[in-house]
Structure 1
Amino acid sequence: MSAGAQHEDGRDRIPATVITGFLGSGKTTLINNILHAQHGKNIAVIVNEFGEISIDGQLVVKDEQAELVEFNNGCLCCTVRGDLIETLDRLRTRKGDLDGILIETTGLADPAPVASTFFVADAVKDSIRLDAFVTMVDAVNLEMNLEQSGEAVEQVAFSDVILINKTDLASPEQVKAAETRVRALNPLAKIHHTANAEIDIAKVIGVGAFDLVQKLEVDPEFLNEHEHEHDRAVGSFILEESRPIDVNRFSLWLNELAQTRGEDLYRTKGVFNARGFRERIVFQSVRMLTTMRPDRLWEEDEARLSQFVVIGKNLDRAEFAEGFARCAVG
């Protein structure tokens, strides 16, 4: 462990990296890239998802050296903050055989209450060190995300390391504009450009970038208790279907929705039992950008249930349920 992981009195503390960023910016992809890297470290991963179930938790690679903890009953910055403290308190007992903790927040999290947890919770602060806030930025959709979400602005402004992601999908002009916008919000953070969240993990883990004094200069109230209220018009719901999904019907339906409700449809994702495929099909979309790919084979004793999560503003669940049902066959 690096010298930066030492407590003031010499005791080692487990470094924790918080990975944040607006919906669909690439947080889970970054975590998977870290877990795939040949670093030989024992890492605990905490995934918090804005929704009734954890699709992202299902997509985090299973690794013998990684432990996965999922929270999908609220947001770490408010309703499940106590759960985070409890989990970190449990993980601190592994000091010595745990090399690091990765925490993926929801795309709608306010970073300040999450960060303050490491300084105000007695059960945490003596054994776990907040190493850095790493914020993922979607180069294609950054401006719209910042306009629609105060949390997106806070995530960029609060970060220590910023990854301007999806540079392979953005134009050079979009990438340049994204960096200019990010730098205006946060002149001190280290910025990296990434495609598919691929980066040398030494640039995001163990960097020792979090500076409490600096954060207090920016926000003197940082360590004080304060309530964070999400936009009540923004919500999520899950749709489930036991019949196979026709991916062509689904694509046509979602494309129509993107054309008519694009500004309100922030993020959709799911794992499908698709007609004609032996594998699970993983679907993800961020506004107008969509991907669909085969995942692992279904297990023999596994229920072949399609689960589709929708996140957005002023969305009618019944309307989406009816449309999703029309995509099923049999």
Structure 2
Amino acid sequence: MSSGAVASMFWVDAELGSDIYLDGIVTVVDSKYGLKHLAEEKAGGLINEATRQVALADLIIINKTDLVPEEDLSQLRTAIRYRIMNGSINGLGKILETQRSRVDLSNVLDLHAFDGLSGISLQKKLQYVSATQPHLDQNIITVTFEAPGNAKEESLNVFIQNLLWEKNVRNKDGHCMEVIRLKGLVSIKDRAQQVIVQGVHELYDLEETPVSWDDDAQRTNRLVFIGKNLDKDVLKQLFMATVTETGKQRTTHSKEGQVCP
């Protein structure tokens, strides 16, 4: 089962009082076969499942490092670090190397990747994510941008829902955008706290962080998207509509009733 599908099962509202909550997504990469799976090309432009799982991860564990030559391990490290250094959401997390899955649990638990605590250091980390970069699977890219201003919550929800739920947002070439994951910090109008936005496939959430905006500082929204057929200019244009007085969302790139297949 896809890690995104599993995440949606456990990413529940804290107010429900569940004893189970989504702490983060951990992807284990096999040292011997990982590079082969990451480089695999799918017919019909489908997203490589191994690449999808790495793109979704908050923590990547490279396992069985003792079973492969150093040269092979170095190639795998390079492939994964290429994603991280060139803009993957994983650049906000970390990589561990292990043998027989032996790892200090303090490095795996309490990631707080899906709650307000993750926003404390997210502001600084987002500054090091490249604006637009491809992954090893060229079908998947990471897009990030900044936009000043205060978003209206209702308009922001429409922006996210058009991408994740309605799936009616297209790039300049007319191809449907598919968002695998999104993460960022946004400024919501009339809210003093920074708000973290998280999204995995069709699931998303807005949650206040413990961090307040400085009274004398310009509020800047920072967003990161990982997915297929993403267009930075179109995404930024649609997002900017949430921080204008009109809040107008309809553009030639987002049309009601034109759902992507």
The structure with the larger Rg is 1
